[in-house]
A and B are shown apart, each in its own frame.
Chain A
Amino acid sequence: MLNKSARSYSIAQFLGAGSTGGIALGGPSAIVRDPSTGEFYISTSNQGQIISYPSGAIVAGGNTSGNTITQLKSPIGLTYDDYKKALIISNYGGHSLVQWLLGAKHWTPINGLAGITGASSSLLDGPIGITIDPMGNIYCADSNNHRVQLILNGQSEAITIAGVTGMTGSNSTLFNLPYWVKLDNQLNLYVADKLNYRIQKFLRY
């Protein structure tokens, strides 16, 4: 279901030939694919929205940048829950993780409090990378707290599964600005550790 700002594009534009000015991307960041439709969803951190490509529809946010229930704030991290048909969005500037169902007009909270920074099981500071496992559990790189948070499906509190809250370092158990997080098929955890210039792998027991 597309919102009213969906637009249609010529085949030439679809294929990238000629002008590509039809879709404006302000600070495009994460890109994920909807496995059911093949559409890409792209977070645009400058615009407070998630845009669908190639349709050009705004599928989340798009109500200027902010922390209210219809807004996103510097969304960078993004993943897609195909079971719920929902975008899972990490608001870097809003310090919150939210769920936005396709076709919905607002988000529902996952973790963090929009507009509030902190370093607890319910507060975040600069969350960036976000991913989801097949059981619907959500993993987030809470960058300024130098940790990876796990929010079990249906829970509101997070558990720190990598890094130490508030502590930076370059050894095997610490991060210095964890930026991105992913899982492989065995649910081993991978983290882009920005200021340590490395990708770290954490084996699942």
Chain B
Amino acid sequence: MRRTFIQLNTYFSSILVFFSDRVAFLRWNPSGITIAGLGSGGNYSNHLYGPYGFTWDSNDTLYIVEIDFNRVTKWTPGAPRGTLVAGQANGMITNASNGFQYPVDIFLESNGDMYITNRMNSRLQFWANGASVGTTVAGS
């Protein structure tokens, strides 16, 4: 039977989780690195407004849903700005197929197709890779 031992070392803010078959050390650098967004300033072409759900593709490109700007942008590693993949670049709110009202989360297929939840439009949008509009597949 696998035994577990947990030691909380609050001085070093570290956690050691010990399994009899392996050691898993769970500790993170408390200083974060900003990998997308400027933090402050910028304009709608390089800013992240209300980053919410996010995910990666197989090239480590980050896909980020911006709830306050009604769009999804993708950021390649180290990029100073994102590229629009769904919604409108200027953050326009819409009930139409070319955008969103308060999108929250994204599921990314391996071929780049996306499922995007749309909180205020109460719908699930399917947005094909490279498309300029989405299709409502659930909700209204």
Which chain A residues have a beta carbon within 8 Å of chain B's beta carbons?
15-16, 20-33, 40, 42, 45-46, 53-54, 56, 76, 129, 135, 137, 150, 152, 154-155, 159, 161-162, 170, 172-173, 179-180, 182, 184, 187-194, 196-205
User: Are A28 and B119 neighbours in the complex by a CB distance under 8 Å?
Assistant: yes
CB-based nearest B residue for A24 = B139
User: Are A196 and B137 neighbours in the complex by a CB distance under 8 Å?
Assistant: no
User: Are A161 and B28 neighbours in the complex by a CB distance under 8 Å?
Assistant: yes
Interface residues on B, range: 35 or more
Distance in Å: Cβ of A74 to nearest Cβ of chain B:
11
Given A152-B6, A173-B31, A204-B26, A42 and B117 contact (CB-CB distance below 8 Å): yes
User: Are A31 and B51 neighbours in the complex by a CB distance under 8 Å?
Assistant: no
User: Are B48 and A197 neighbours in the complex by a CB distance under 8 Å?
Assistant: yes
- Interface membership of B74, Cβ < 8 A: no
How far, in whole Å, are A161 and B54 apart by their CA atoms in the complex? 20
- Hey, which chain A residues are within 8 Å of B15, CB to CB? 150, 152, 159, 161
Given A40-B115, A192-B51, A16 and B36 contact (CB-CB distance below 8 Å): no
User: Are B105 and A187 neighbours in the complex by a CB distance under 8 Å?
Assistant: no
How far, in whole Å, are A155 and B26 apart by their CA atoms in the complex? 15
Distance in Å: Cβ of A123 to nearest Cβ of chain B:
18
- Hey, which chain B residues are within 8 Å of A162, CB to CB? 28, 30, 32
- Hey, which chain B residues are within 8 Å of A180, CB to CB? 51-54
Given A199-B62, A203-B29, A24 and B140 contact (CB-CB distance below 8 Å): yes
> B119-136, CB under 8 A of A: which get 1 and which 0?
110111010000000011
Distance in Å: Cβ of A82 to nearest Cβ of chain B:
15
How far, in whole Å, are A179 and B13 apart by their CA atoms in the complex? 22
User: Are A20 and B138 neighbours in the complex by a CB distance under 8 Å?
Assistant: yes
Distance in Å: Cβ of B23 to nearest Cβ of chain A:
12
B104-120 contacts to A, CB under 8 A, are: 104-107, 115, 117-120
How far, in whole Å, are A187 and B53 apart by their CA atoms in the complex? 18
One of A26, A40, A202 near B28 (C-beta < 8 A): A202
- Hey, which chain A residues are within 8 Å of B105, CB to CB? 29-31
One of A30, A54, A161, A192 near B138 (C-beta < 8 A): A54
